[in-house]
Amino acid sequence: MPELPEVEIVRQSLDKKIKQKKVKKIIVRNRNLRIKIPLNFTSTMKNQKIIKVDRFSKFIILHLSSGKFCLFHLGMSGTIHIISKKKKNLFSNSSFYNSPSLPKKHNHVEIIFDDIKVVYNDPRRFGFFQILNNSNFLKKRLAHFGPEPFQSQFNLNYVSSFLEKKKKNIKNFLLDQNFVSGIGNIYASEILFFCKINPNKKAYLINKKDLKKIILNSRRVLMNAIKKGGSTIRDFKNTSGKKGNFQKDFRVYDRYGLRCKRQNCKGIILKKVISNRSSFFCNLCQN
Amino acid 236: pLDDT: 37
Domain count for the chain, please give it: 2
DSSP letter at 259 equals: B
Amino acid 225: pLDDT: 86
Residue 212 maps to a domain: yes
Residue 149 maps to a domain: no
Amino acid 81: pLDDT: 92
In the chain, which stretches have pLDDT less than 50? 232-239, 241, 244-246
Amino acid 109: pLDDT: 97
* 190 and 226 both lie in a single domain: yes
* 227 and 255 both lie in a single domain: yes
* 28 and 104 both lie in a single domain: yes
Q: How many helices (H) and strands (E) does the chain have?
A: 7, 10
Residue 167 maps to a domain: yes
Amino acid 34: pLDDT: 95
- Give the tens place of pLDDT for each residue, 118-151: 999 999 999 999 999 999 999 999 999 999 999 9
pTM: 0.88
54 vs 221: CA distance, rounded Å: 21
* 105 and 222 both lie in a single domain: no
* 100 and 177 both lie in a single domain: no
161 vs 178: CA distance, rounded Å: 14
- Active centre residues (catalytic): 2-3, 58, 277
Amino acid 66: pLDDT: 98
Amino acid 97: pLDDT: 59
Beta-strand ranges (E) seen in the chain are: 25-28, 50-56, 59-64, 69-73, 79-84, 107-112, 116-121, 128-132, 269-274, 277-282
* CATH number of the domain enclosing 207: 1.10.8.50
Residue 14 Cα distances to 60, 61, 118, 250, angstroms: 10, 10, 9, 27
Q: What single letter denotes the amino acid at residue 117?
A: K
Amino acid 195: pLDDT: 98
* 174 and 110 both lie in a single domain: no
* 116 and 186 both lie in a single domain: no
Amino acid 96: pLDDT: 62
* 12 and 100 both lie in a single domain: yes
